[in-house]
Structure 1
């Protein structure tokens, strides 16, 4: 059991770091870069934009009701609690990092929903007129974390029963 507590010491600070960096980047975008809001071409395939996501990933389940942000924040909060429970039960670094990334990203987006009623997205990648949906650091952390958990689930060899 002592080993799983060491995964808490890895996953929880990582979640906090992701959450803080996510909120910091959003603060810079809202208070400095997007004054006034506009599209900023950074490279031929990357722009900075300001988009408000009132749904979940890729604006699915978009909800403009007053309760919508609280419902989605509550769902994400329940997922964070489940991930925290899982983090306390594992004893390997790879999935602990993945869980920490997902938790931090989810917490960053929960803060947005409670503060603004929507998630702040600003990274816009595009190619040949096709744009990937705008996203943020929290979304990137969630994607990488979920990818790590999938790789772990597919390729980690479980110990044989003793």
Structure 2
């Protein structure tokens, strides 16, 4: 067995991704809420399809399970942390750096939203993506840096799965 320092192992890339996603998300939220004060300036048009806004999400994606009660918030936090635990276990055992980094982005993003829910009572979203066409659920979508990290992590996991399946030998016909 070849010795590798801990920082070259795939899990190190995953842990760095967790820290980066969580730190960027929380720094962006702090800046938008307390320095830029988006609540007083919104909406700010960035492009014809993207605005800066302040939107509080008391539920999960698309405000599903939206509630402002402490019991619902505790249930959502417990659910999110259980998923983070499962993904963290997968990250720790990930065989490749890209897999670990992708899982780290998902875990870091999820933790960023958990921190919001625990400290602010809801998740702060700032980017409002909208189109004039009724193109499904993304026609009007509000998200934050944590959500973007989760999305990027999932896309990387999908790409990694295609790459992995392409390198597997096909079984011989018999």
Same fold (TM over 0.5): yes
Aligned to 1:11: 14
Aligned to 1:22: 25
Structure 2 vs 1, CA of residues 129 and 38 (structure 1 numbering), >3 Å: closer, same or farther?
farther
Aligned to 1:150: 158
Aligned to 2:94: 90
Which ranges in structure 2 are unaligned for 5 or more consecutive residues? 170-174
Aligned-pair distance for 1:155?
3.7
Query: What stretches of structure 1 move > 6 A for 4+ residues in a row?
Result: none
TM (normalized to structure 1)?
0.88
Which ranges in structure 1 are unaligned for 5 or more consecutive residues? none
Tell me, yes or no, if structure 1 residue 76 matches structure 2 residue 80: yes
Deviates most, 21-30 or 86-95: 86-95
RMSD after superposition: 2.2
| Cα distance in 2 for residues equivalent to 1:119 and 1:8 | 28
CA contact (8 A) 2:25 2:144 kept: yes
- Pick aligned residue for 1:103 from 101, 107, 118: 107
TM (normalized to structure 2)?
0.82
- Pick aligned residue for 1:50 from 51, 54, 57: 54
Aligned-pair distance for 1:107?
0.6
Aligned to 1:63: 67
What number of residue pairs does the alignment pair up?
Answer: 160
Aligned-pair distance for 1:65?
1.6
Deviates most, 139-148 or 28-37: 28-37
Larger Rg: 2
SS in 2 for 1:64: coil
CA contact (8 A) 1:42 1:48 kept: yes
